[in-house]
Every structure is written in structure tokens, then in C-alpha cells.
Amino acid sequence: MKNVLVSGDTRFDRVNAIASSGGTEWGLVVAKAFKGNHRTLVCGSTWPKDEVLLLDALARFTKKTKVIVAPHEMDPEQLRNIEARFPKPLVRLSELDGTDPANIAATLGQEATGTLLVDRMGLLARLYEHGDLAYIGGGFGDGIHSLLEAAAWGKPVIFGPRHTKFAEAKGLIDCGGGFEVRDADDLLAVLGRLLNDEKALAQASAAAAMFVRQRTGATALVKTYLLGSL
């Protein structure tokens, strides 16, 4: 094949730009205050099957851990189920409107456990900043959601087995920044490995971040090529 230029994947540039710019939206300020100085698992784009798995593993995980849950859909019944079953104290993001972040930090932020239920859209890509690792939903349904959004922040990513269509899943597993889980026992083992071992968490975090950084630059290459061909 002639006249072909392989540029790479522009998604890496997009998520890297998001991670580089950060965000100051209200929901992100709340998430930071909620986390405090405690280990936090961000669960992004979850479906009910993911939440069943998470509940089973978290119920048996002995290390105190906070959870931020941003479901894929804002279905009222799904939100109520999360609210009823996830670790307490649990609060919806919408319930904290108008609350001084300092008060959140002084109350919820001091708790070693608990759940922040993110019942608003549009925050997830930047929400990963305020976790120590991420569980990405969809891997027990039609396929996992974006792993790169979390990896760009240097967060190890955990996901279900339906990921074979996504090259980044294999890449992250191979480099040590991604972890496939098939059941709650698998998830419990990964949580134990990463949250009970500072060195293991640091290594997985660095691997996830490097995986994204090493693959950036496609957007600039495409722009250079297009502008040069005008």
C-alpha cells in the first residue's frame, strides 16, 4: 500500500490534555474534599453487573477504603440501589450543592470509609484525579468503557473480561497498569495487591501513566501532514 502515513491514536492526546489541564468544576472540588487523605477507588461508567461485583469484593476487603461511584447511566432505580447498598456514609453529589468544601473536608473527608455517588454527567474524565486506582465498568456487558481517561492520570485500571476489542486493555495489562477481573475473588485479590502494598501501587500507577504518555503526538502529526498538503 502506497501513500500511507501511520499517525497513531488521537485519543491518547485527548486524555493527556484533560489530565494536564485538570479541572475546577464544583463536583471535582467536592470529590477532592470527600477523599481527604484516604485511599479511594473511583468506579467509572458502572453498570449493575459491575456494582454487584464491587459490592461483593468491598464487603470482604478489610482495608478501609473510600469509593467514588459514577454510573454509566443516571437511572433512578440504579442510583437508589447504589445508595442503599454501597459503603456508608454515602452521599449524593447533588445533595452537597452549596456546601462549603471546607465543611465537606472536615466531615466526610475525615471518614476512612464511605461513598460519594456522582449523580451528574460530564465529570468522570477529570474525576479520576481524585482516586488512587480505578474500576472501569462495561466489562461484563458489551465492552469496557474508556480506560485511557483514568490511565492518563496515572491510575491503575481494573476491568471485566470483555475487552478483547480494545487494544489499550491488552497494552495496559502487558505493561502492569491494567488488571482483568472475572469475579469478585479476582477483584478482591487486585485490591489487596494494590492497596496493601505502596510499592505495587506506585509501580502500577507509573506504568499506566507511561502507557499513555508514550503514545501521544498523533494529533500534531496529523495536523502537520494536513497543513503541509494544502
| Strands 40-46 and 66-71, bridge-based pairing | parallel
Percent of the chain with pLDDT over 90: 84
Per-residue confidence band for 10, with pLDDT thresholds at 50, 70 and 90 = confident
CB-based contacts of 13, cutoff 8 Å, min separation 6: 216, 217, 218, 219, 220
- pLDDT for residue 123 is more than 90: yes
Q: How much is the mean pLDDT over the chain?
A: 92
Would you state the pLDDT for residue 163? 96
Q: Is residue 117 part of a domain?
A: yes
Q: Is residue 215 part of a domain?
A: yes
* Domain span including residue 152: 10-228
In this structure, which long-range contacts are made by residues 189-198, counting pairs with CB atoms below 8 Å and at least 24 apart in sequence? Answer: 190/158, 191/41, 191/57, 191/61, 191/63, 191/65, 192/61, 192/63, 194/132, 194/133, 194/156, 195/39, 195/61, 195/63, 195/65, 195/132, 195/133, 196/63
**Number of Cα atoms under 13 Å in the Cβ half of residue 26:** 12
- pLDDT for residue 152 is more than 70: yes
Domain count, the chain: 1
Q: Say which range, 5-14, 67-76, 88-97, has the weakest mean pLDDT.
A: 5-14
- Please answer whether residues 47 and 137 qualify as being in contact, where contact means their C-beta atoms are separated by less than 8 angstroms: yes
Q: Is residue 99 part of a domain?
A: yes
Q: Is residue 162 part of a domain?
A: yes
Q: Is residue 21 part of a domain?
A: yes
- pLDDT for residue 178 is more than 90: yes
The stretch 159-187 carries a mean pLDDT of 97
Would you state the pLDDT for residue 7? 53
Q: Is residue 158 part of a domain?
A: yes
Q: Is residue 2 part of a domain?
A: no
Q: Is residue 90 part of a domain?
A: yes
Residue 176 belongs to a domain with what CATH number? 3.40.50.2000
